[in-house]
């Protein structure tokens, strides 16, 4: 009997297909190049191998290729109905919901599947991560939900399982248990260096702990060995650019951006390309620097081509920055109107915070700092609902903080800075706090 890497039976009689599948899934979970080739080899060895088709669909979904993902998951569903076990049918069903945009059903299916088959890492991975089903559910407590899920199933995994350590550690660090999470992530890195998901999570843990120097060293040492075709290459470079901005090195941040993050050079996921570009350029402006001519127009052209319709809270948050920064008020007004319709129909889980961020971004871009504060301050606790990571969402809090400083709301700005510095030491926040104190 063939099995996967977690000893779960596979409905293929081909040892070669099973071997390629195990390697393909490992590469996919590590976000490392070569997964597609391994899965295609598994399918070539056994064209009826449903889970290989399903994993290929998952890869297409990760690359934001919905047509291809839906075609592949359709093949997997057909194959699994004829040749699969109950576990494999449930596995394909969860991925089918995810590939066809049924996020709530995918989350329910994934959690139910994990209760019965907790060691099915492909399905357990779906709710986890910054762009997982929990993060994009609109929940305010998705950080805690990830921790709860990992802790619930931790006893099913070896203490030195590199994949589970990666996602358990990342979940803990994002939820405030930074030192514990970072220790797990460093162990995961020791166990498997060719694990972009692990390095990405470790960079987040270092960010949450204020360890800028450690982040710099990690990325400088590791990134040259990660092929540019890896879908997290540009995003991990973005973390290095954030470190440069923390230190006030705008030129260094821009050099990283143009070399590794800009839409013309990054081979990452479109959601990362848009959010990384928008948030970095927005931070530049908020921190008092000028973005070179054309950079906002470049990211705007890419973003509108890639995400032509509103309705994704995290994407819409960054589209608002782009449209505000490029003075495209009509487009932003249309986006907000569409969001309001979706909210009224119960189709935008993050709710009113999404259009509020859009209005606040426009006010900020027009130097209406009092208006930005009036809109954003009451919604600050709800920003978490848009999903993503703490590092990604911090740009919204930065916007509020800079608006407070520019509007002369010194006491409020100092109070916010004080809370931030107690949570995470930051060279930039230290400079700002000292400036306000002076």
Give the CATH number of domain 1-121; options: 1.25.40.10, 1.10.10.350, 1.10.8.80, 3.40.50.1000: 1.25.40.10
- Alpha-carbon span 71 to 78, nearest angstrom: 11
- Alpha-carbon span 65 to 292, nearest angstrom: 31
pLDDT tens-digit series, residues 216-275: 999 999 999 999 999 999 999 999 999 999 999 999 999 999 999 999 999 999 999 999
pLDDT tens-digit series, residues 296-330: 999 999 999 999 999 999 999 999 999 999 999 99
pTM score: 0.96
User: Are 354 and 316 a contacting pair, CB within 8 Å?
Assistant: yes
- Alpha-carbon span 306 to 74, nearest angstrom: 24
Across 280-303, average pLDDT: 96
- Reference 352, options 381, 322, 388; nearest CA is 381
Start-to-end C-alpha separation, the chain: 72
Domain residue spans of the chain: 1-121
Helix runs in 11-155, H state only: 15-29, 35-45, 50-62, 66-83, 86-99, 103-116, 121-124, 142-153
Across 163-188, average pLDDT: 98
Across 326-346, average pLDDT: 97
SS3 label, residue 9: strand
What is the chain's mean pLDDT, rounded? 97
Residue 273, class by beta-carbon neighbours within 10 Å (0-12 exposed, 13-18 middle, 19+ buried)?
A: buried
- Reference 133, options 157, 165, 101; nearest CA is 101
SS3 label, residue 3: strand
- Of the given ranges (120-129, 367-376, 389-398, 421-430), which has the lowest mean pLDDT? 421-430
- Alpha-carbon span 379 to 238, nearest angstrom: 27
User: Are 339 and 371 a contacting pair, CB within 8 Å?
Assistant: no
pLDDT tens-digit series, residues 79-107: 999 989 999 999 999 999 999 999 999 99
């Amino acid at each position: 009997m063939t099995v996967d890497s977690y000893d779960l039976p596979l409905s293929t009689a081909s040892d070669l297909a099973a071997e390629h599948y195990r390697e393909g899934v490992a590469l996919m979970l590590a976000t490392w190049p070569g997964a597609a080739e391994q899965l295609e080899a598994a399918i070539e060895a056994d064209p009826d191998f449903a889970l290989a088709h399903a994993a290929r669909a998952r890869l297409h979904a990760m690359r934001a290729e919905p047509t291809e993902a839906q075609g592949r998951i359709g093949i997997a569903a057909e194959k699994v109905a004829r040749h699969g076990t109950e576990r494999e049918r449930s596995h394909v069903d969860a991925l089918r919901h995810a590939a066809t945009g049924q996020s709530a059903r995918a989350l329910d299916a994934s959690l139910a599947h994990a209760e019965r088959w907790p060691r099915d890492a492909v399905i357990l991975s779906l709710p986890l991560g910054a762009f997982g089903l929990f993060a994009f559910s609109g929940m305010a407590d998705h950080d805690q939900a990830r921790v709860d899920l990992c802790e619930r199933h931790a006893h099913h995994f070896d203490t030195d399982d590199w994949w589970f350590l990666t996602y358990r550690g990342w979940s803990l660090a994002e939820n405030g248990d930074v030192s514990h999470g970072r220790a797990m992530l460093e162990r995961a890195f020791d166990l498997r260096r060719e694990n972009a998901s692990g390095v990405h999570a470790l960079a987040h843990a270092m960010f949450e702990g204020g360890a800028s120097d450690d982040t710099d060293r990690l990325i400088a040492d590791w990134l040259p060995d990660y092929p540019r075709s890896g879908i997290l290459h540009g995003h991990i470079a973005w973390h290095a650019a954030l470190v440069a901005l923390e230190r006030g090195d705008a030129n260094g941040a821009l050099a990283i951006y143009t070399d590794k993050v800009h839409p013309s050079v990054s081979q990452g996921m479109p959601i990362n390309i848009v959010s990384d570009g928008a948030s970095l350029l927005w931070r530049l402006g908020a921190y008092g620097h000028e973005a070179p001519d054309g950079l906002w127009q470049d990211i705007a052209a890419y973003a509108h081509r890639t995400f032509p319709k509103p309705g994704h809270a995290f994407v819409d948050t960054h589209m608002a920055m782009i449209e505000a920064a490029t003075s495209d008020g009509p487009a932003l007004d249309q986006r907000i109107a569409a969001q309001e319709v979706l909210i009224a129909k119960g189709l935008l889980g993050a709710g009113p915070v999404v259009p509020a961020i859009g209005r606040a971004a426009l006010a900020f871009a027009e130097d209406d700092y009092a208006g930005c504060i009036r809109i954003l301050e009451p919604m600050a606790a709800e920003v978490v609902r848009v999903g993503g990571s703490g590092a990604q969402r911090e740009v919204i809090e930065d916007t509020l903080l800079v608006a407070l400083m520019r509007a002369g709301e010194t006491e409020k700005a100092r109070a916010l800075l004080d809370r931030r510095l107690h949570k995470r030491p930051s060279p930039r926040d230290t400079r700002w706090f000292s400036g306000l104190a002076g």
